[in-house]
C-alpha cells in the first residue's frame, strides 16, 4: 500500500470487513464539550461515503446530534495497523421506515433499545433500570463523512487525509 488510492481502499475495506472488530468510538459535542462512546459499526457505504450505527432514540447522543449534527467516528484496526478517523454531519432516523432493520436484529440486540430510564439518566443504584425491546426507541445514525484521516502505523508510518469536497482525491500529511 503505497499510493493514495490504495490507502483509501484499505480504509474503507476495514470499515466494512467481515470479522473485523466492529466496535468504534463515536464522538458528538455536548453541553460539557466532546462526548465519546463505544458503538457497534453497523454499516459502511464506500460509494455514498457513509457510516452507520444504531442508538436508543432517547439517549444523550441523539439529543446532542439534534443540537449539533457534527460528529466523528474512530476505528483502530490492530492487524492492519490502521487508525481511521471519519468526521462529518450525522442524520438520525427513526420510525416505521426502520421496521425491516429492527426485524433483522436478534432479541438481545433489540433489548438494547428501550431502557427505562433512558440511557445516561441518573439512577439510585447500579441496577435500578429496566431493559425492554422497544421499536419506538430504535434509531439509526448515518454519518455522512466529509473528511477521512487515515494513519498506517508501520515502517514507514504514513498518513493521508481524504475530503469529500475534492472527490476523495486525498493528500499526504505528516504522520
40: alpha, beta or left, given left = phi > 0 and alpha = psi -120 to 50?
beta
Per-residue pLDDT tens over the stretch 7-26: 999 999 999 876 565 899 99
Unique residue bearing C-alpha cell 457497534: 40
Give the per-residue pLDDT at 20: 61
Give the per-residue pLDDT at 120: 87
pLDDT surpassing 70 at residue 84: yes
Cell numbers at 149, concatenated: 484521516
Per-residue pLDDT tens over the stretch 112-154: 999 999 988 899 999 999 988 899 999 999 999 999 999 999 9
Superfamily classification of domain 4-173: Electron Transport, Fmn-binding Protein; Chain A (2.30.110.10)
Question: Global pTM?
Answer: 0.93
Strands (E), the chain: 23-30, 33-40, 43-45, 50-56, 70-77, 82-94, 138-152, 158-163, 171-173
Query: In this structure, is the dihedral angle defined by the CA atoms of residues 3, 147, 62 and 34, taken in order, positive or negative?
Result: positive
Over range 155-173, report the average pLDDT.
96
Unique residue bearing C-alpha cell 433489540: 110
> Any idea where the domains of the chain sit in the sequence?
4-173
The percentage of residues in the chain with a pLDDT greater than 90, rounded to a whole number, is 86
What mean pLDDT value characterizes the chain?
A: 94
Per-residue pLDDT tens over the stretch 32-75: 999 999 999 999 999 999 999 999 999 999 999 999 999 999 99
Amino acid at each position: 500500500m503505497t499510493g493514495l488510492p490504495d490507502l483509501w481502499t484499505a480504509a474503507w475495506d476495514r470499515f466494512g470487513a467481515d470479522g473485523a472488530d466492529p466496535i468504534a468510538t463515536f464522538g458528538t459535542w455536548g453541553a460539557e464539550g466532546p462526548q465519546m462512546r463505544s458503538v457497534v459499526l453497523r454499516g459502511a457505504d464506500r460509494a455514498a461515503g457513509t457510516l452507520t450505527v444504531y442508538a436508543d432514540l432517547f439517549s444523550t447522543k441523539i439529543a446532542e446530534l439534534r443540537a449539533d449534527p457534527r460528529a466523528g467516528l474512530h476505528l483502530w484496526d490492530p492487524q492492519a495497523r490502521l487508525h481511521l478517523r471519519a468526521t462529518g454531519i450525522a442524520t438520525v432516523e427513526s420510525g416505521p421506515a426502520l421496521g425491516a432493520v429492527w426485524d433483522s436484529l436478534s432479541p438481545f440486540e433489540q433489548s438494547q433499545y428501550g431502557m427505562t430510564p433512558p440511557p445516561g439518566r441518573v439512577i439510585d443504584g447500579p441496577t435500578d433500570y429496566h431493559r425492554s425491546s422497544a421499536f419506538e426507541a430504535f434509531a439509526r445514525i448515518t454519518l455522512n463523512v466529509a473528511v477521512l484521516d487515515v494513519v498506517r502505523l508501520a515502517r514507514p508510518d504514513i498518513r493521508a487525509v481524504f475530503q469529500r469536497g475534492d472527490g476523495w482525491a486525498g493528500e499526504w500529511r505528516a504522520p
